[in-house]
Amino acid sequence: MRVDTESWAYKVPFRVSRGAESALEVVVVTLTDADGQVGRGEAAGVDYDGETIPRLCAQIEALRPGIEAGLSQRTLDFAAVATLLPPGGARNAVDCALWDLTAKQRRTSVWELAQVMHPRELTTSITLGIDTDAAVAAGARRYADWPLIKVKVDGARHIDVIRLVHAACPAAQLIVDPNQAWSCDLLNRLAPEMQSLGVVLIEQPVPRGEDDTLRAYQGPLRLAADESVADRAGLAKVVGLYQVVNVKLDKTGGLTEALALAGAARARGLQVMVGCMAGTSLAMAPGMVVGQMAKFVDLDGPLLHSADREHGIEYDRGLMRLPSTTLWG
Protein backbone atom coordinates (compact mmCIF):
# COMPACT_ATOMS: atom_id res chain seq x y z
CA MET A 1 0.00 0.00 0.00
CA ARG A 2 1.21 3.45 -0.89
CA VAL A 3 -0.27 6.60 0.64
CA ASP A 4 0.34 9.93 -1.12
CA THR A 5 -0.89 13.45 -0.42
CA GLU A 6 -1.56 15.97 -3.17
CA SER A 7 -2.73 19.56 -3.53
CA TRP A 8 -5.02 20.62 -6.39
CA ALA A 9 -5.40 24.38 -6.86
CA TYR A 10 -8.81 25.89 -7.55
CA LYS A 11 -9.22 28.16 -10.57
CA VAL A 12 -10.43 30.84 -8.17
CA PRO A 13 -10.72 30.62 -4.37
CA PHE A 14 -13.71 28.43 -3.60
CA ARG A 15 -15.98 29.96 -0.96
CA VAL A 16 -18.94 28.44 0.88
CA SER A 17 -20.69 29.56 4.06
CA ARG A 18 -17.99 27.85 6.18
CA GLY A 19 -15.08 29.69 4.56
CA ALA A 20 -12.83 29.74 1.49
CA GLU A 21 -9.98 27.61 0.10
CA SER A 22 -7.45 28.24 -2.66
CA ALA A 23 -6.60 24.55 -3.10
CA LEU A 24 -7.92 21.14 -2.11
CA GLU A 25 -5.70 18.67 -0.30
CA VAL A 26 -6.36 15.01 -1.02
CA VAL A 27 -4.97 11.62 -0.07
CA VAL A 28 -4.46 8.92 -2.70
CA VAL A 29 -4.19 5.26 -1.70
CA THR A 30 -2.57 2.85 -4.17
CA LEU A 31 -2.95 -0.90 -3.60
CA THR A 32 -0.70 -3.29 -5.53
CA ASP A 33 -1.17 -7.05 -5.46
CA ALA A 34 1.45 -9.79 -5.89
CA ASP A 35 0.83 -9.82 -9.65
CA GLY A 36 1.54 -6.12 -9.98
CA GLN A 37 -2.06 -5.09 -10.55
CA VAL A 38 -2.86 -1.65 -9.15
CA GLY A 39 -5.96 0.02 -7.71
CA ARG A 40 -6.27 3.67 -6.69
CA GLY A 41 -8.65 5.71 -4.56
CA GLU A 42 -8.78 9.42 -3.77
CA ALA A 43 -10.36 11.19 -0.79
CA ALA A 44 -10.51 14.70 0.59
CA GLY A 45 -12.23 13.92 3.88
CA VAL A 46 -15.10 15.69 5.60
CA ASP A 47 -13.81 19.05 6.78
CA TYR A 48 -16.82 19.95 8.92
CA ASP A 49 -16.28 16.74 10.89
CA GLY A 50 -12.70 17.75 11.62
CA GLU A 51 -11.08 15.48 9.05
CA THR A 52 -7.71 16.70 7.79
CA ILE A 53 -5.29 15.05 5.39
CA PRO A 54 -2.76 14.28 8.17
CA ARG A 55 -5.56 12.68 10.18
CA LEU A 56 -6.65 10.54 7.22
CA CYS A 57 -3.08 9.45 6.55
CA ALA A 58 -2.61 8.51 10.21
CA GLN A 59 -5.80 6.43 10.18
CA ILE A 60 -4.69 4.56 7.08
CA GLU A 61 -1.09 4.07 8.19
CA ALA A 62 -2.22 2.64 11.53
CA LEU A 63 -3.83 -0.21 9.60
CA ARG A 64 -1.02 -0.80 7.12
CA PRO A 65 -0.05 -4.25 8.52
CA GLY A 66 -3.61 -5.54 8.33
CA ILE A 67 -4.27 -4.07 4.89
CA GLU A 68 -1.03 -5.40 3.41
CA ALA A 69 -1.55 -8.82 4.99
CA GLY A 70 -5.04 -8.90 3.46
CA LEU A 71 -3.61 -7.97 0.08
CA SER A 72 -0.98 -10.69 0.16
CA GLN A 73 -3.43 -13.34 1.37
CA ARG A 74 -6.26 -12.18 -0.92
CA THR A 75 -8.53 -11.79 2.11
CA LEU A 76 -8.99 -8.01 1.90
CA ASP A 77 -12.53 -7.38 0.70
CA PHE A 78 -15.10 -4.61 1.01
CA ALA A 79 -16.59 -6.03 4.22
CA ALA A 80 -13.14 -6.22 5.79
CA VAL A 81 -12.40 -2.58 4.95
CA ALA A 82 -15.68 -1.56 6.62
CA THR A 83 -14.61 -3.29 9.84
CA LEU A 84 -11.13 -1.74 9.79
CA LEU A 85 -12.10 1.91 9.32
CA PRO A 86 -15.07 4.11 10.31
CA PRO A 87 -17.08 6.08 7.73
CA GLY A 88 -15.06 9.00 6.38
CA GLY A 89 -12.30 9.94 4.02
CA ALA A 90 -9.73 7.32 5.08
CA ARG A 91 -12.08 4.44 4.39
CA ASN A 92 -13.20 6.09 1.15
CA ALA A 93 -9.67 6.10 -0.27
CA VAL A 94 -9.02 2.47 0.67
CA ASP A 95 -12.46 1.24 -0.41
CA CYS A 96 -12.31 2.91 -3.84
CA ALA A 97 -8.76 1.63 -4.40
CA LEU A 98 -10.02 -1.87 -3.61
CA TRP A 99 -12.89 -1.54 -6.10
CA ASP A 100 -10.39 -0.56 -8.79
CA LEU A 101 -8.02 -3.39 -7.88
CA THR A 102 -10.79 -6.00 -7.62
CA ALA A 103 -12.08 -5.15 -11.08
CA LYS A 104 -8.63 -5.69 -12.51
CA GLN A 105 -8.09 -8.92 -10.60
CA ARG A 106 -11.40 -10.30 -11.87
CA ARG A 107 -10.81 -8.92 -15.37
CA THR A 108 -14.09 -7.10 -15.35
CA SER A 109 -15.32 -3.55 -14.68
CA VAL A 110 -16.66 -1.79 -11.61
CA TRP A 111 -19.95 -1.49 -13.45
CA GLU A 112 -20.31 -5.26 -13.49
CA LEU A 113 -19.11 -5.53 -9.89
CA ALA A 114 -21.84 -3.05 -8.93
CA GLN A 115 -24.35 -4.89 -11.13
CA VAL A 116 -24.87 -1.87 -13.39
CA MET A 117 -25.38 -3.50 -16.75
CA HIS A 118 -25.92 -0.40 -18.86
CA PRO A 119 -24.09 2.59 -17.34
CA ARG A 120 -25.19 5.94 -18.69
CA GLU A 121 -23.49 9.27 -19.06
CA LEU A 122 -24.58 11.77 -16.40
CA THR A 123 -25.45 15.44 -16.40
CA THR A 124 -23.81 17.23 -13.49
CA SER A 125 -24.39 20.66 -12.04
CA ILE A 126 -21.64 23.25 -12.08
CA THR A 127 -21.03 25.12 -8.82
CA LEU A 128 -20.80 28.87 -8.33
CA GLY A 129 -19.15 29.70 -5.02
CA ILE A 130 -19.92 32.68 -2.81
CA ASP A 131 -18.38 35.81 -4.34
CA THR A 132 -19.08 39.41 -5.28
CA ASP A 133 -22.13 40.18 -7.41
CA ALA A 134 -19.91 40.92 -10.40
CA ALA A 135 -18.00 37.66 -10.04
CA VAL A 136 -21.15 35.58 -9.58
CA ALA A 137 -22.83 37.19 -12.59
CA ALA A 138 -19.71 36.67 -14.72
CA GLY A 139 -19.51 33.05 -13.63
CA ALA A 140 -23.16 32.50 -14.43
CA ARG A 141 -22.72 33.94 -17.91
CA ARG A 142 -19.91 31.44 -18.56
CA TYR A 143 -22.38 28.63 -17.92
CA ALA A 144 -25.43 30.19 -19.55
CA ASP A 145 -26.01 27.12 -21.74
CA TRP A 146 -25.59 24.55 -18.95
CA PRO A 147 -28.79 22.82 -17.85
CA LEU A 148 -28.05 22.66 -14.09
CA ILE A 149 -26.22 25.18 -11.91
CA LYS A 150 -25.55 24.97 -8.18
CA VAL A 151 -25.40 28.26 -6.28
CA LYS A 152 -23.65 28.58 -2.92
CA VAL A 153 -25.25 31.11 -0.56
CA ASP A 154 -25.09 32.02 3.13
CA GLY A 155 -27.28 33.66 5.73
CA ALA A 156 -26.71 37.19 4.49
CA ARG A 157 -26.54 36.88 0.70
CA HIS A 158 -29.09 34.57 -0.83
CA ILE A 159 -32.10 35.65 -2.91
CA ASP A 160 -30.18 38.51 -4.53
CA VAL A 161 -27.52 36.05 -5.72
CA ILE A 162 -30.14 33.64 -7.05
CA ARG A 163 -31.77 36.48 -8.99
CA LEU A 164 -28.41 37.31 -10.58
CA VAL A 165 -27.81 33.74 -11.69
CA HIS A 166 -31.34 33.30 -13.02
CA ALA A 167 -31.08 36.54 -15.00
CA ALA A 168 -27.89 35.30 -16.65
CA CYS A 169 -29.13 31.71 -17.13
CA PRO A 170 -32.94 31.86 -17.43
CA ALA A 171 -33.21 28.36 -18.94
CA ALA A 172 -31.09 26.61 -16.30
CA GLN A 173 -32.43 24.72 -13.33
CA LEU A 174 -30.80 25.81 -10.08
CA ILE A 175 -29.74 24.00 -6.92
CA VAL A 176 -29.26 26.31 -3.94
CA ASP A 177 -26.84 25.28 -1.18
CA PRO A 178 -26.72 27.34 2.04
CA ASN A 179 -24.46 24.76 3.75
CA GLN A 180 -26.47 24.91 7.02
CA ALA A 181 -26.57 28.73 7.11
CA TRP A 182 -30.35 29.31 7.15
CA SER A 183 -33.24 28.96 9.57
CA CYS A 184 -36.56 27.36 8.70
CA ASP A 185 -38.19 30.78 8.95
CA LEU A 186 -35.84 32.22 6.33
CA LEU A 187 -36.38 29.16 4.16
CA ASN A 188 -40.15 29.64 4.27
CA ARG A 189 -39.81 33.30 3.31
CA LEU A 190 -37.49 32.62 0.36
CA ALA A 191 -38.87 29.38 -1.10
CA PRO A 192 -41.80 30.78 -3.11
CA GLU A 193 -39.68 33.29 -5.00
CA MET A 194 -36.88 30.76 -5.46
CA GLN A 195 -39.32 28.48 -7.27
CA SER A 196 -40.11 31.31 -9.70
CA LEU A 197 -36.35 31.74 -10.31
CA GLY A 198 -35.83 28.19 -11.54
CA VAL A 199 -34.71 26.59 -8.26
CA VAL A 200 -35.52 22.86 -8.15
CA LEU A 201 -33.67 21.81 -4.98
CA ILE A 202 -32.36 23.32 -1.74
CA GLU A 203 -29.48 21.52 -0.03
CA GLN A 204 -29.14 21.38 3.76
CA PRO A 205 -30.73 24.74 4.57
CA VAL A 206 -30.55 24.42 8.38
CA PRO A 207 -27.72 23.34 10.68
CA ARG A 208 -27.17 19.66 11.29
CA GLY A 209 -28.91 18.80 14.55
CA GLU A 210 -31.67 21.34 13.92
CA ASP A 211 -33.37 19.28 11.24
CA ASP A 212 -36.55 18.90 13.29
CA THR A 213 -37.23 22.62 12.75
CA LEU A 214 -38.05 21.67 9.15
CA ARG A 215 -41.35 20.24 10.34
CA ALA A 216 -42.52 23.87 10.00
CA TYR A 217 -41.38 24.07 6.37
CA GLN A 218 -44.25 25.03 4.09
CA GLY A 219 -42.46 25.73 0.83
CA PRO A 220 -42.94 24.06 -2.55
CA LEU A 221 -39.30 23.05 -3.18
CA ARG A 222 -37.63 19.76 -2.37
CA LEU A 223 -34.97 19.70 0.34
CA ALA A 224 -31.81 17.58 0.27
CA ALA A 225 -30.09 16.33 3.42
CA ASP A 226 -26.32 16.65 3.12
CA GLU A 227 -24.40 17.26 6.34
CA SER A 228 -27.20 15.59 8.30
CA VAL A 229 -26.68 12.16 6.71
CA ALA A 230 -23.32 10.41 6.38
CA ASP A 231 -24.35 6.79 5.93
CA ARG A 232 -27.28 4.43 6.51
CA ALA A 233 -27.09 4.93 10.28
CA GLY A 234 -28.32 8.52 9.88
CA LEU A 235 -31.03 7.90 7.33
CA ALA A 236 -34.00 7.32 9.65
CA LYS A 237 -33.73 10.71 11.33
CA VAL A 238 -34.23 12.67 8.09
CA VAL A 239 -37.19 10.72 6.71
CA GLY A 240 -40.21 13.04 6.68
CA LEU A 241 -38.02 16.15 6.81
CA TYR A 242 -36.16 15.91 3.52
CA GLN A 243 -37.14 14.47 0.17
CA VAL A 244 -33.61 13.91 -1.17
CA VAL A 245 -30.41 12.49 0.34
CA ASN A 246 -27.04 13.73 -0.88
CA VAL A 247 -24.68 10.74 -1.02
CA LYS A 248 -20.98 11.60 -0.90
CA LEU A 249 -18.28 8.96 -0.82
CA ASP A 250 -16.14 10.93 1.63
CA LYS A 251 -19.06 10.86 4.08
CA THR A 252 -20.09 7.24 3.59
CA GLY A 253 -16.55 5.88 3.64
CA GLY A 254 -16.40 4.73 0.04
CA LEU A 255 -18.39 3.31 -2.83
CA THR A 256 -19.55 0.21 -0.93
CA GLU A 257 -21.54 2.13 1.69
CA ALA A 258 -22.53 4.83 -0.81
CA LEU A 259 -24.35 2.26 -2.93
CA ALA A 260 -25.98 0.79 0.17
CA LEU A 261 -27.10 4.23 1.36
CA ALA A 262 -28.50 5.13 -2.06
CA GLY A 263 -30.44 1.88 -2.19
CA ALA A 264 -31.78 2.30 1.34
CA ALA A 265 -32.84 5.90 0.65
CA ARG A 266 -34.76 4.89 -2.46
CA ALA A 267 -36.41 2.06 -0.56
CA ARG A 268 -37.73 4.66 1.91
CA GLY A 269 -39.17 6.77 -0.90
CA LEU A 270 -36.37 9.34 -0.95
CA GLN A 271 -34.64 10.56 -4.08
CA VAL A 272 -30.86 10.41 -4.36
CA MET A 273 -28.35 13.13 -5.11
CA VAL A 274 -24.71 12.22 -5.56
CA GLY A 275 -22.23 14.88 -4.53
CA CYS A 276 -18.53 15.37 -3.89
CA MET A 277 -16.03 17.28 -1.79
CA ALA A 278 -14.49 18.60 -5.04
CA GLY A 279 -11.42 16.63 -6.16
CA THR A 280 -10.09 15.17 -9.38
CA SER A 281 -11.58 12.70 -11.85
CA LEU A 282 -10.20 9.88 -9.71
CA ALA A 283 -12.70 10.88 -7.01
CA MET A 284 -15.55 11.52 -9.48
CA ALA A 285 -15.31 8.13 -11.24
CA PRO A 286 -16.69 6.04 -8.34
CA GLY A 287 -19.26 8.77 -7.76
CA MET A 288 -20.56 8.09 -11.26
CA VAL A 289 -21.42 4.54 -10.16
CA VAL A 290 -23.72 5.94 -7.47
CA GLY A 291 -24.90 8.48 -10.01
CA GLN A 292 -26.67 5.72 -11.90
CA MET A 293 -29.22 5.75 -9.04
CA ALA A 294 -29.39 9.54 -8.66
CA LYS A 295 -31.97 12.15 -9.60
CA PHE A 296 -29.46 14.97 -9.09
CA VAL A 297 -25.72 14.82 -9.86
CA ASP A 298 -23.07 17.20 -8.48
CA LEU A 299 -19.74 15.77 -9.61
CA ASP A 300 -18.10 18.88 -11.02
CA GLY A 301 -14.90 18.69 -8.95
CA PRO A 302 -12.41 18.64 -11.85
CA LEU A 303 -14.08 21.68 -13.42
CA LEU A 304 -13.34 23.74 -10.31
CA HIS A 305 -9.60 23.01 -10.36
CA SER A 306 -6.83 24.44 -12.50
CA ALA A 307 -5.80 20.97 -13.68
CA ASP A 308 -7.01 17.37 -13.63
CA ARG A 309 -5.40 13.95 -13.80
CA GLU A 310 -4.24 12.28 -16.97
CA HIS A 311 -7.09 10.34 -18.61
CA GLY A 312 -9.59 12.50 -16.72
CA ILE A 313 -13.34 12.39 -17.26
CA GLU A 314 -14.55 14.39 -20.26
CA TYR A 315 -17.20 17.05 -19.61
CA ASP A 316 -19.33 18.78 -22.24
CA ARG A 317 -21.59 21.50 -20.78
CA GLY A 318 -22.31 19.30 -17.82
CA LEU A 319 -22.53 15.98 -19.66
CA MET A 320 -20.04 13.56 -18.08
CA ARG A 321 -18.61 10.86 -20.31
CA LEU A 322 -18.03 7.48 -18.68
CA PRO A 323 -14.54 7.30 -17.15
CA SER A 324 -11.73 5.53 -18.93
CA THR A 325 -10.62 2.28 -17.30
CA THR A 326 -7.10 3.69 -17.56
CA LEU A 327 -8.19 6.21 -14.92
CA TRP A 328 -10.19 3.91 -12.63
CA GLY A 329 -12.45 0.87 -12.64
No. of H helices and E strands in the chain? Answer: 12, 14
295 a catalytic residue: no
Q: Which CATH superfamily is domain 122-320 in?
A: Enolase-like C-terminal domain (3.20.20.120)
Q: For the segment 29-46, what is each residue's pLDDT rounded down to a tens digit?
A: 999 999 999 999 999 999
251 a catalytic residue: no
Buried b (16+ CB within 10 A) or exposed e, 229-266: bbbbebbeebeebbbbbbbbbbbbbbbbbbbebbebbe
DSSP 242: B
User: Rounded CA gap, 103 and 70, in Å?
Assistant: 17
Domain(s) labelled CATH 3.30.390.10 in the chain stretch across: 2-107
Provide the sign of the torsion angle of the four alpha carbons 99, 100, 103, 105, taken in this order.
negative
pLDDT value at 12 more than 90: no
Domain(s) labelled CATH 3.20.20.120 in the chain stretch across: 122-320
Q: For the segment 252-288, what is each residue's pLDDT rounded down to a tens digit?
A: 999 999 999 999 999 999 999 999 999 999 999 999 9
Strand-pair partners of 322: none
Q: For the segment 184-222, what is each residue's pLDDT rounded down to a tens digit?
A: 999 999 999 999 999 999 999 999 999 999 999 999 999
> pLDDT value at position 14?
74
Q: For the segment 91-122, what is each residue's pLDDT rounded down to a tens digit?
A: 999 999 999 999 999 999 999 999 999 999 99
User: Rounded CA gap, 129 and 18, in Å?
Assistant: 11
pLDDT value at 13 more than 80: no
User: Rounded CA gap, 302 and 178, in Å?
Assistant: 22
Mean pLDDT rounded to a whole number for the chain: 95
> pLDDT value at position 18?
66
> pLDDT value at position 17?
58
Stretch 159-169: mean pLDDT: 96
pLDDT value at 308 more than 80: yes
Q: For the segment 309-322, what is each residue's pLDDT rounded down to a tens digit?
A: 999 999 999 999 99
* Percent of the chain predicted with pLDDT > 90: 93
Q: Which CATH superfamily is domain 2-107 in?
A: Enolase-like, N-terminal domain (3.30.390.10)
Candidate list 104, 150, 248, 251, residue with the active-site label: 248
Candidate list 104, 150, 152, 251, residue with the active-site label: 152
Stretch 3-19: mean pLDDT: 84
Best CA proximity match to 274, nearest among 298, 292, 257: 298
pTM of the predicted model, to two decimals?
Answer: 0.95
Other Cβ atoms less than 10 A from the Cβ of 7: the count is: 10
Best CA proximity match to 151, nearest among 179, 193, 188: 179
